[in-house]
Amino acid sequence: MSDKPVVLVTRKLPAAVEVRLQRDYAARLNASDQIYSSDQLLELAEGAAAIVPCHTEKLNADVIARLPQSIRALCSFSVGFDHIDLAAAKARGIVVTNTPEVLSDATAEIAMLLLLGAARRAYEGELQIRTESWADWSATYQLGVQVSGKRLGIIGMGRVGQIMARRARGFDMQIHYYNRSRLSADLELGAVYHDSVEALLPHCDFLSIHCPATPETRHLLNAERIAMLPDGAVVVNTARGAVVDDDALIAALRSGKLFAAGLDVFNDEPNIHPAYRGLQNTFLLPHIGSATVETRDAMGFRALDNLDAIMAGKEPRDRLV
Ligand code: DGY
């Protein structure tokens, strides 16, 4: 029998990450990539020292309370940690880590893609080509809103928000932002700080959401706040679906209050609010913000660096609790 620590890996991870897992641990991999129910996860975790979950596993207080005593760590393959009840883990003395920094570039790329795609009606254009319904060129057809030189509001000026701002400056956009604390001038780079979301919203021709999902940010973008945006604004979300009130966003897209929305994250993924699919002015992606070869490898290695540190009795780089 191997004396390597047993590690439960809940989803299929990139090949290079699984090779390292198998080299250093008695890894319980998930070759079929099926999503485990809580009961399956608890059963598979029996005797394991740690779990490497993804955001698809809901490690709420009840599941954490039922984890085997052998579990010392939850090293998530994600930057987001809204799927893990940190207080419950802390109460059980279980260390929790995430994978910050390594996915910031990839996520900002997708935010920019969504911003451009929503503004320039990429979904409708694509559809016309693929369904052979493109009649001809016309001076008045398929008109979007121009991005260059417009105001971009960013909620959450952490790593991803800052990279998004940098990319948007390449389009001569003027950056406005709300963050819990104001950035130093060398990070702000001329961006205009607003001390509340309400103060930010009237300045956003485009709004990009980059804050984590917490009880405080749940449905942060609701009907009342959408009304504070300029008419014809474009909303982009690559953070978490929970930050947006779907009914309010859908109503604003239907009424024309908002020109369009670009969304990579949703409430209740993958069973998203069906109205999004029927709207022409949405540009939708299936939670692929961090989905590049380079980034998914880096996320896996970062999770394993944390795991290695914990198993060696050292402080992990990305400890949440
Ligand atoms: C993250 O890392 O939080 C991404 O959303 C993928 O889980």
Domain boundaries, the chain: 6-102+293-311, 104-284
251, 278 contact by CB (below 8 A): no
Nearest CA residue ID for atom 2, ligand 1: 78
Q: Which residues have any ligand 1 atom within 6 Å of their CB?
A: 54-55, 78-80, 103, 289-290
String of DSSP letters for 206-259: EEEE-PPP-TTTTT-B-HHHHTTSPTTEEEEE-S-GGGB-HHHHHHHHHHTSEE
> 291 alpha carbon to ligand 1 midpoint, in Å?
9
> 227 alpha carbon to ligand 1 midpoint, in Å?
29
In this prediction, residue 239 carries a pLDDT of 98
Candidate of 55, 58, 240 to mutate for ligand 1, largest count of ligand atoms within 8 Å of Cβ: 55
pLDDT digits (tens, 9 = 90+) for 141-154: 999 999 999 999 99
Q: Are 6-102+293-311 and 104-284 the same fold in CATH?
A: yes
CATH 3.30.450.20 fits 104-284, yes or no: no
**6-102+293-311 to CATH, choices 3.40.50.720, 3.40.50.300, 3.60.20.10, 3.40.50.1820:** 3.40.50.720
Q: What is the dihedral of CA 120, 157, 249, 252, to 10 degrees?
A: -60
Cα-to-chain-centroid distance, residue 125: 26
pLDDT digits (tens, 9 = 90+) for 263-313: 999 999 999 999 999 999 999 999 999 999 999 999 999 999 999 999 999
Indicate the pTM of the whole model.
Answer: 0.97
